Structures are given as C-alpha cells and as structure tokens.
Amino acid sequence: MPEPANLIDREIHPVRDRVLLGAVWAAAMLVAGAFVWLLADLLWHGAGRLDWSFLSTAPRNSGRAGGIWPIVVSTVLIVAVAIVVAAPLGLATAVLLSEFTRRGGTTERAIGLSLDVLAGVPSIVFGLFGNAFFSVWLGLGFSILSGGLTLACMVLPILIRTAETGLRMVPDDWRLGAAALGLSRTTALHQILIPVATPVLLAGLMLGIGRAMAETAALVFTSGYVDRMPSSLFDSGRAISVHIYDLTMNVAGGDRSAYASALVLIALLVLVNGAAIWLSDRTLQRKIATR
C-alpha cells in the first residue's frame, strides 16, 4: 500500500479530530462574525450620515444635526493628557519592577498586587474618584484636564504591566554584557533595553489609548459633557463615547448620529494602531537592527 502523500491528512482521526477541528473553526468564525456584524451594522446605520461636514462642524440640535468636530478635538485632548501623564509614569514604574526589584520580592509583590487590583476596578469608580480628587479637591472642575488625569490613573496598570513584560523579555545576556563593559544601568536601559522593548512598549501604549478612547463612565463626572469647542484644557469637553451614550440614551432621533460617531471612533482607533505599527517598524529599522 503506498504511503499517503499528506502526513497531516493521515494523522487526522476520522471522528475525534474532526469534531475538535470543527469546534475551533466554529469558535473562530463566531468571533470574526460578531465583529463583521457589528461593523456592518454601524456602516448600515451610520454611513449615510457620515460626510465631510459631519467631521468638520459642531453638533446642532443636541447632536441630531450638525457634526462632531469639537467632540473629536475634546477626545483627542483628553486622551493626549492621559497618555502624556501615564506613559512616563508607567515606564518608570515598569523599569523599577523589572530592573531594580527582585522577582517575587516584597516590593515587586506589593506593587504588582496593587496594580492588579487597580486594573480590576470598574471605570465608574475611577470616575467618582476623579470627580472627588481632581474636580473637587484640586479644584479642576469639569475639565479636559481632570478627565485626562482620571483616565491616566485608569490606564496606568495596563501600561505598567505591558512595559514590564516587554522589559523582562529582553535577554539577560545584554544586561550582563553591558554591566561587564562598565556601562551604567541608565545607559544600558536607554541605549539597549528600552529600544529593544519598544515594539512591546508601543503595543501597551496602544492598548492604553484604546481603553482611554473608548471610556465613558470615568469621563461623565470628570470632563463632563459640554459639546462646545474647548478653548483650553480647563474647559469641559465631551468625549466621543460620552457623545454616543448621550445620543442613544437621551436624544430621541439621535441614533443615526450615534452610529456615525461610533464609526469615527473606530476609524480613530485604527489610525492610532497604524501609527503605532509604523513607528515600531521604523524604530526597529533605525535604532536596533536585529538579524
């Protein structure tokens, strides 16, 4: 009897393996299908409303008419504040955890535990905290600044954990090699470890931005829902997700605007992702040259 050409085919058990194969494919299709459905639904309801004037004008009649330009600006500002504050803090903490504390030591465990608890806190709680602390206690009121700072607290655990993982993935050979050449920890970090970890750091940043951009509950009590164009960081500003929430819950006839706004939100996320990938490719080529 000649050998079957394809080893994989021969290896597949007629019943058991086929059931498994079917199950994993079905699961994958289900996930992909849910996303496609969602996107199709958004496009179906929202695409008609989406045009240049929607992007470039202010909302009128509670958002039923007009566009979302001030809201896009507010969203970008809030997320920018959050990332500008959280990214350096996150990186610094990650460096402390991965480079200067012993794995499984008391410091590492204590910080790690508080991060994991923080990551599990519902965003509405962050909203209440941000309102009490930034808006009232620090007197920032309902402003883009207090919204951004609240989001910074919220994304910090994600940023720290991913950055820590990224730094830990860098092989110890380079740490030892750097130390053996008499390089300081600072030089090693700045010249070798962080550049090598950049793709993971950027991926973490992306997760953080995604989470921040899609946030609603934490912002209602901090950055507020004024839909005018903000003139400074101390003005209140409405984020896209808050806008969508408001249109669907409080504005009769706002559905089409809500769908279109959701499309804009997804487009923004895709844009940021693309930028991150491009940036990470570029740093890979320019700074570190692996293989």
- Residue among 192 and 276 whose Cβ is closer to another protein: 192
Count CB atoms within 10 A of the CB of residue 252.
Answer: 8
**96 touches another protein by CB under 8 A:** no
**181 touches another protein by CB under 8 A:** yes
Distances (CA, A) of 141 to 47, 117, 123, 137, 243: 36, 27, 19, 9, 19
Phi-psi category of residue 62: left, alpha or beta, with phi > 0 → left and psi -120 to 50 → alpha: left
Nearest to 76 by CA among 208, 207, 212: 212
Name 198's Cβ contacts closer than 8 Å, sequence gap at least 6.
Answer: 280, 283, 284, 287, 288
**107 touches another protein by CB under 8 A:** no
**97 touches another protein by CB under 8 A:** no
**183 touches another protein by CB under 8 A:** yes
**180 touches another protein by CB under 8 A:** yes
Among 12, 132, 179, 267, binds another protein (CB under 8 A): 179
Among 66, 129, 174, 279, binds another protein (CB under 8 A): 174
**279 touches another protein by CB under 8 A:** no
Smallest gap, in angstroms, from Cβ of residue 107 to another protein? 12
Q: Point out which span in 53-61, 116-124, 180-188, 212-220 binds another protein (CB under 8 A).
A: 180-188
**287 touches another protein by CB under 8 A:** yes
Pick out residues in 204-263 that bind another protein (CB under 8 A).
Answer: none
**202 touches another protein by CB under 8 A:** no
Smallest gap, in angstroms, from Cβ of residue 285 to another protein? 10
**182 touches another protein by CB under 8 A:** yes
Smallest gap, in angstroms, from Cβ of residue 110 to another protein? 17
- Residue among 114 and 187 whose Cβ is closer to another protein: 187
Among 3, 9, 102, 231, binds another protein (CB under 8 A): 102
**115 touches another protein by CB under 8 A:** no
**108 touches another protein by CB under 8 A:** no
**106 touches another protein by CB under 8 A:** no
- Residue among 193 and 264 whose Cβ is closer to another protein: 193
Smallest gap, in angstroms, from Cβ of residue 169 to another protein? 13
Give residues in contact with another protein (CB under 8 A): 102, 173-184, 187, 191-192, 195-196, 287-291
